[in-house]
Amino acid sequence: MAQTRRQRLLAASRNSGTGSVQDGHRELPRIASPSSESTSPDGDVDQPTSPSSTVSGSASQNETYTAEISLADFKDSLKPDVCIRCLRSLFPGTGGVNLTCLKCHKYLRRPENASEKVLHDVVAKWAAFWLAWRRRHLKDKFAVNSMSASDSQGATFSFELGDLEDKDDAVQDLPGIDNIVDMVDGELETITFSEDEKTLLDMAFLTYLQCDSAQVTMYPILHKYLQHAKHIIRIEEVCFTPNHPAFTTHCIWRMTLQNRRQYAVSLTDRQLGWLPLVTPWRQYVRTRVRTLGSIKPLGAQFYVAEAADPRLNRFLYSWENNFERRRRVNRKMNWYESEGVLDEWKAWNRG
Ligand SMILES: [Zn+2]
């Protein structure tokens, strides 16, 4: 069933007029203030995580889109030696992926913090599942770019959005990167990655431009979970302008616990170099948010994706460039793929 619908989507995107393709990118529609209404043709102001300065990509006649990502944009998330809750350094030799320090571990074990403990545990599980899900469905292609001494940006990667019309629908591998030449204090230096750093690098790639995908594909799980949850009483979808030089928009969840404490929860912050999965809401707003955008009920992005028109129609969406058009189609793809996510979640939990 899902396959048939998906084939129909691909046919629709192929049959629509694409015309000539323009290079470069345009500013995405401005994020709305909490009180303003939707303005875009999709009825959606919550454009997903969007690159700005880093994406200097080019669109070709066959509708592929290649972007460049700088290591500098997410380098801070490649740190296996800090606690993902408080960002303090872990004891030397005790590092790893997604670990908390002893102090945070003790804090979360106190009875009065039981709800926050449950939230951390549940979100860690969602994150592991969603990353595994991304790996299984990954169509985007990544490659390391060569560097020369004239590069002032440091190491970069090229990134091509998955081909929607690929008949084989091939799942891509992430590049296995052992070391990379990067700019450190103005000098080119070879950095050798540890196994943990390589895992964190994978996480940054898997989350790149995926905040809307996470909200759409995880919706069936979060919706189902919320019906039976003891500790989480409300989940909202929040979009904002992040405190980050390369991104104009980012979307996360705000979760309200039974004790009324609120937390920012994100499975895709690693692409911005941010390690925590769960952060007290006020702290997140203070440190990560430049301008708060919209706050909508759980499912808002899912229903936008459901309503999205998959046709690559230049006349209908004249404000879009090629990149944005592909993102719209990808959003619809996420909606189609979310059909099977509950079954995958059940199977993953059994395994
Ligand atoms: Zn800690």
Once rounded to an integer, what is the mean pLDDT over residues 324-345? 82
Ligand 1 centroid – CA 279 distance (Å): 12
Separation of CA 272 and ligand 1 centre (Å): 20
Predicted TM-score (pTM) of the model is: 0.80
For residue 16, pLDDT over 60 is answered with no
Within its chain, how far is the Cα of 13 from the centroid? 24
Quickly list DSSP for 246-265: TEEEEEEEEEEETTS-EEEE
With 60 as the cut, is the pLDDT of residue 298 above it? yes
What is the distance in A from the centroid of ligand 1 to the CA of 107? 9
CA of 24 to the centre of ligand 1 (A): 42
- Output the CA 70–ligand 1 centroid distance in Å: 28
Average pLDDT taken over every residue of the chain: 78
CA of residue 113 to ligand 1 center, whole Å: 14
268 CA to centre of ligand 1 in angstroms: 20
Distance CA 349, CA 125 (A): 9
Q: How confident is the model at residue 319 (pLDDT cuts 50, 70, 90)?
A: low
Higher pLDDT pick, 6 / 337: 337
More confident residue, 234 or 30: 234
90 Cα: distance to centroid of ligand 1 (angstroms):
8
